[in-house]
Every structure is written in structure tokens, then in C-alpha cells.
Amino acid sequence: MKIASIGSGHIGGTLGKRWAAHGHEVMFGSRDPRGERMTDLLAEAGPNARAGTVREAAAFGEAILLAVRPEHVEQALAEAGDLSGRILINCINRYDGASAEAEVRRLAPGARIVRAFHTLPWEVLAEPRYEAGRATAFLYGDDPSATAAVAGLAADIGLDAVDVGSPEAMAKTEAANGALWSVLGPRFGRTYSLQVLRR
């Protein structure tokens, strides 16, 4: 699949490298696509990755990961242009009480938005396999084919994808995940993970 990552930091860089390593074509959309940091990232990501402007990456991607800090969301989506009908993966977390979900919906009207990769730290996305199983990535999108595509992208890099089924369920999942993070993070560090065992 052709995947764009708007943002090439911890999350965009990690996911982009992993998808490229698994045979997807990746384009990082950057404010500085020829800069030294991007050159280093492309060297690590290998031949399936390239870089361009945010607009070029948005035009390239069948799926577009938005992986900028919350304060840059508005600018990045403005640079991306019209994303109607496109798969847009929203991993943004805000800690100021505002809803990242609502903001991205407002700024990218008509996009097929899937909320995903936001319940795990980048260190787990970099290596989601544990001796006991695979880290669960909770996701939700209201377009079934977009959600299935993103679940496939999660599975490709070793995650256990669980579609929680509704925006209300995702809000509860995020609250529970945040509460557990405050308990388990200080104890086990950023690389602990949860897996939903099921029969």
C-alpha cells in the first residue's frame, strides 16, 4: 500500500520505517524533506521510503498518517489540502481536555478517519512482539473499509488490532488506557503493554 506520514518524529518515523520494512511504499511529508534528519531517517527506512512536502505526501498516500504534535495539526492539515475520501489515520493525543478526534474531523471534512496507534507509545510500536504475545492496538473508524485497511496495517507490523466499534467505546477505551498508564507506567516503564486475550 502507498502510505504517507505527515510527521517523521517518534511516531511517524517509527511506523514509517516499519511499514517500509514490510514492503509498503512510504512517503514522509515534511517541512524539510531534504534536511539532515530526513536523510538519516530515509537511510534507516531503506529503499521503500522517500520524502516530499506535506502536499506531495498527502497526494501520494492511499492511507495518510497524521503524526504531528497537537499544536501543529491545523497547519499540517492545511498544507495537506483536501483529503475528502482519503484514509486518514489520527494518532494525535491532546492532554488539554480538547478532543483530538473532533478537531481532526473538523479540519479534514470528508476524510475516512480512523483513530489508531494512539494508545501505545512509540517504543511499543517499534517492537510490538513480546514473549507472551502481541501488543493490542485499539482502533475505531466509521468507514468499515478504511478501518479494515488500517487494522491490516497494524497487523503487518506485528500489532494485535482490536476495533472497539464506536466513538463512545473509543472514548471509554482511551480513558481506561490512560488510567492504567498512570498506574503501570511508573512501575514498568514505557515498554509495558496490554493484550486482549480472547477465544
Ligand X SMILES: NC(=O)c1ccc[n+]([C@@H]2O[C@H](COP(=O)([O-])OP(=O)(O)OC[C@H]3O[C@@H](n4cnc5c(N)ncnc54)[C@H](OP(=O)(O)O)[C@@H]3O)[C@@H](O)[C@H]2O)c1
Interacting residues toward ligand X by CB under 6 A: 6-12, 29-32, 54, 67-70, 72, 75-76, 79, 91-93, 118, 121-122
The distance of closest approach from Cβ of residue 5 to ligand X in the complex, given in angstroms and rounded to an integer, is 9
Q: Strand ranges (DSSP E) for the chain?
A: 2-6, 25-29, 49-52, 63-66, 87-90, 112-115, 129-130, 133-134, 136-141, 160-163
Closer by beta carbon to ligand X, 123 or else 198: 123
Separation CA 150–CA 19 (nearest Å): 12
Closer by beta carbon to ligand X, 186 or else 197: 186
Closer by beta carbon to ligand X, 39 or else 75: 75
Separation CA 28–CA 34 (nearest Å): 11
The distance of closest approach from Cβ of residue 13 to ligand X in the complex, given in angstroms and rounded to an integer, is 7
The distance of closest approach from Cβ of residue 12 to ligand X in the complex, given in angstroms and rounded to an integer, is 6
**Helix, strand, coil fractions of the chain, as percent rounded to 5:** 45, 20, 35
The distance of closest approach from Cβ of residue 173 to ligand X in the complex, given in angstroms and rounded to an integer, is 14
Residue nearest to ligand X (CB): 9
Closer by beta carbon to ligand X, 36 or else 199: 36
Strand pairing partners for 136?
A: 160
Cβ(28)–Cβ(40) below 8 Å: no
Closer by beta carbon to ligand X, 44 or else 144: 44
- Label the pairing between strands 25-29 and 49-52: parallel
Angle CA 182–10–60, to nearest 5 = 130
The distance of closest approach from Cβ of residue 28 to ligand X in the complex, given in angstroms and rounded to an integer, is 8
